[in-house]
């Protein structure tokens, strides 16, 4: 078999290094432990293996595989520590620091839309004292963006790219290997595997009917039914129009920020790759490059200007 025949037989090989960047992003970041690693790196300056073991309770082999994947993806930088008990430190790279907004949106979603969200530490904008989640703004026009003011555009030939399983995390241990629940448990229904992520993303793009989901995804009816049912059980979608449509609930629509930042991060992480999906801000016509804005003072919010304040008098002071 010639190389071209091999490539023709394996669609994923055609994109080679340029696997769909959005799918690759969900494969990497749509993972509870990976997100917990990043959260602890930001919030607790975790940088050593044992710090993450202590905080996450993850099985060591599972943590090793996630750290390796993050190093390989350029999110963490491994620094040898020859004299220390831990042989390496893992530091956030510039690309790693760029996941901050994704985590803020995940925290905000959990804070507002999960029964256990009230136990989360509160985000405080130190410049104005405002407490609570930020909103998404469009860097192109500096206006606040809601999902209603955006159009999600799918590249016509990207159908298989979104859906094909490609290089799945073969090293991925089952979710059950992680004990307990944390702030990322519930959102995994939506972003924890590529099919669910694609179905939720299409719903955010305005897709409602079973046949339209199928038309945009190379997905079997059984798998699609399974994901739609899971998303309905998780109150991210609901059935409408006598069961013929699946519509986002407010809880589902509130995932917009998470998706906006995941998509924009994928462009940073995989520069040069053509994404199969993009969000356009209809109000200004530009491709959405999102940023966060404080609801209290309208200023843009960055890492340096916020703190997480543990809520007083609660039995669960730990984030997660």
Note the residues at the interface with Zn ion (CB under 5 A). Answer: 125, 128, 130, 138, 140-141, 281, 284, 294, 296-297
CA gap 125, 117 in Å, rounded: 19
Q: Which is nearer to Zn ion, 119 or 138 (CB)?
A: 138
Q: Which is nearer to Zn ion, 67 or 134 (CB)?
A: 134
Q: Which is nearer to Zn ion, 158 or 301 (CB)?
A: 301
Q: Which is nearer to Zn ion, 206 or 296 (CB)?
A: 296
Q: Which is nearer to Zn ion, 53 or 141 (CB)?
A: 141
Collect all residues with Cβ–Cβ distance below 8 Å to 145 and sequence separation of at least 6: 136, 137, 138, 260, 281, 283, 288, 290
Q: What six digits make up the tokens of 156?
A: 């016509």
- Asked if residue 293 lies in contact with residue 166, where contact means CB atoms within 8 angstroms, the answer is no
Q: What is the DSSP letter of 126?
A: T
- Asked if residue 127 lies in contact with residue 299, where contact means CB atoms within 8 angstroms, the answer is yes
Whole-number minimum distance, CB 208 to Zn ion, in Å?
Answer: 25
Whole-number minimum distance, CB 319 to Zn ion, in Å?
Answer: 21
Whole-number minimum distance, CB 286 to Zn ion, in Å?
Answer: 5
Q: Which is nearer to Zn ion, 53 or 128 (CB)?
A: 128
Whole-number minimum distance, CB 264 to Zn ion, in Å?
Answer: 13
Whole-number minimum distance, CB 173 to Zn ion, in Å?
Answer: 40
Beta bridge partners of 78: 90
Whole-number minimum distance, CB 44 to Zn ion, in Å?
Answer: 24
CA gap 93, 78 in Å, rounded: 10
Whole-number minimum distance, CB 277 to Zn ion, in Å?
Answer: 18
DSSP 161-221: HHH---S--TTPPPGGGS-S--TTTTTHHHHSSHHHHHHHHHHHTT--BHHHHHHHS---H
3-state secondary structure of 271: coil
- Asked if residue 132 lies in contact with residue 123, where contact means CB atoms within 8 angstroms, the answer is yes
Q: Which is nearer to Zn ion, 208 or 300 (CB)?
A: 300
């Amino acid at each position: 078999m010639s190389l071209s025949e091999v490539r023709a037989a394996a669609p994923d090989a055609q994109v080679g290094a340029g696997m769909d960047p959005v799918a690759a992003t969900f494969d990497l970041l749509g993972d509870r432990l990976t997100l917990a690693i990043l959260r602890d790196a930001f919030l607790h300056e975790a940088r050593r293996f044992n710090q993450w073991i202590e905080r996450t309770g993850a099985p060591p082999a599972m943590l090793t595989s996630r750290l390796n994947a993050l190093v390989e993806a350029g999110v963490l930088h491994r620094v040898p520590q020859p004299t220390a008990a831990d042989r390496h430190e893992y530091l956030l790279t510039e690309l790693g620091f760029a996941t901050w907004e994704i985590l803020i949106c995940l925290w905000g979603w959990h804070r507002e839309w999960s029964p256990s969200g009230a136990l989360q530490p509160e985000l405080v904008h130190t410049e104005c004292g405002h407490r609570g989640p930020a909103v998404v703004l469009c860097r192109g026009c500096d206006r606040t963006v809601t999902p209603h003011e955006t159009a999600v555009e799918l590249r016509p030939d990207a159908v298989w790219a979104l859906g094909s399983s490609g290089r799945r995390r073969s090293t991925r241990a089952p979710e059950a290997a992680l004990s307990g629940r944390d702030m990322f448990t519930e959102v995994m229904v939506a972003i924890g595997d590529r099919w669910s992520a694609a179905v939720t993303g299409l719903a955010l793009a305005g897709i409602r009917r079973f046949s339209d989901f199928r038309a945009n995804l190379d997905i079997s009816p059984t798998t699609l039914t399974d994901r739609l049912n899971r998303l309905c059980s998780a109150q991210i979608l609901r059935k409408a129009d006598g069961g013929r449509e699946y519509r986002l609930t407010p809880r589902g629509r509130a995932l917009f920020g998470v998706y906006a930042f995941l998509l924009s991060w994928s462009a940073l992480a995989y520069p040069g790759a053509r994404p199969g999906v993009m969000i356009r801000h209809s109000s200004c016509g530009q491709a959405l490059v999102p940023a966060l804005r404080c609801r209290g003072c309208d200023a843009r919010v960055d890492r340096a200007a916020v703190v997480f304040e543990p809520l007083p008098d609660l039995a669960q002071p730990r984030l997660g």
